[in-house]
Amino acid sequence: MSSGSRLRHSLSWLAEHAERRRAAGLRRVLRARTPDEPVVDLAGNDYLGLSRDPRVVEGGVAALRAWGAGSTGSRLVTGTTTLHSELERELAGFCGFESALVFSSGYLANLGVLTALSGPDSLIVSDAANHASIVDACRLSRARIAVVPHNDIAAVDDVLDARAEQRALVVTDSVGSVDGDHAPLAALHRVTRARDAVLVVDEAHALGVCGPGGRGLLAETGLAGTGDVVATVTLSKALGSQGGAVLASVEVIEHLVDTARGFIFDTGLAPASVGSALMALRVLAGEPALPAAVLANALAIADVVGAPMPRSAVVPVVIGEAVAAYAAAERCLAGGLRVGCFRPPSVPVGTSRLRLTARANLGSDELALARAVLTEALGR
């Protein structure tokens, strides 16, 4: 038997699994966008509409011209430019933390901080609704993992109270990536502090949308910069660029530089992405009304679909079965409206949904089209 035949035989199970996913409505399809497609986007995470803002684009172009296409190495070798350091200083200052460390993605930021601050002698208490990057970071941490019901403060307290480990982390999204709800951060912090644990908060969907001037929920609750609180953010949502960062005390950031494998062994974020993110942050700082525009448009979208008043850019519409949710999303696309379609494993079985996301720069014509298409596609 040739090596090619052996390979085909050893991977023959793939076709069966693919067919099972197709029958369950769980096949994924890559759709390539074009720069000028005539579709209104209620699916992306460009919450402030900055990804094509001329100022943000020029920030990336200027960095590209100055530094070249790539960072040329890991952050500890040649991958740290003065631009990276500038972004870290301004991001930390804007969000109210002592220090920041930029990673090449938000996924790696979560991976880096959770693995570096835990280990075999630690406990991580993780919210059941946490993002996949947090779930994967927990699995790789080698710590004992306790998954608690969503936003259940008593369950967090019970697990921390009963622990045998000296070190413990509690990790949560501040704004749910699927439902857009808020975590009870003040109550969580009271519990973690009382139990001598550290609170790690992923602010990916809060930065630029929630809190004073878009500084996030930690700033809103007065917890930004607190010594026993660590935050992660992404540069690829409200800031319209690419990358992620950890915000924390100087001591925590220094520890990550020494020990976070997702930082040490990864090529640094490309200068163009750094330049764009830095310019977007400056736009946000200079235009504090942008977050309110996001929430106003989210409210308009929620009114169309009969959803509760949103507290973030995310408006969920639960359909139920995956096949039905996918069909609804396809009807929307046929009408010129792109919406997110979240199916298992992103959400529990039987709760597949459309995920609608608002942008600060949605115009009245776009909102009118969204209203017409959603009303037709959902029968509402």
Domain CATH for 359: 3.90.1150.10
In a domain, 18, yes or no: no
Averaged pLDDT, 280-296? 98
- Do residues 110 and 253 both lie within one domain? yes
pLDDT band for 356, please (50, 70, 90 cuts). very high
Question: Token pair for residue 29?
Answer: 């399809």
pLDDT tens for residues 1-46? Answer: 555 555 567 898 999 999 999 998 888 888 888 998 999 999 999 9
- Cβ–Cβ under 8 Å, residues 280 and 56: yes
Q: Is 250 exposed, middle or buried (0-12, 13-18, 19+ CB in 10 A)?
A: exposed
* The model's pTM: 0.94
Provide the residue range defining the domain that includes 113.
54-286
Domain endpoint, select from 253, 286, 319: 286
How far is the first Cα of the chain from the last one, in angstroms, to the nearest whole number? 59
Averaged pLDDT, 332-339? 97
- Do residues 195 and 213 both lie within one domain? yes
As for how many domains the chain has, the answer is 2
Task: Determine phi and psi for 360, rounding to 5 degrees.
Answer: -65, -30
- Do residues 204 and 244 both lie within one domain? yes
- Do residues 80 and 216 both lie within one domain? yes
The pLDDT score that the predictor gives to residue 28 is 87
Segments of 161-313 assigned E as strands: 167-173, 198-202, 229-234, 244-248
Domain endpoint, select from 286, 314, 339: 286
pLDDT band for 193, please (50, 70, 90 cuts). very high
Averaged pLDDT, 173-202? 97
For the ranges 19-33, 221-235, 336-350, the one whose mean pLDDT is highest: 221-235
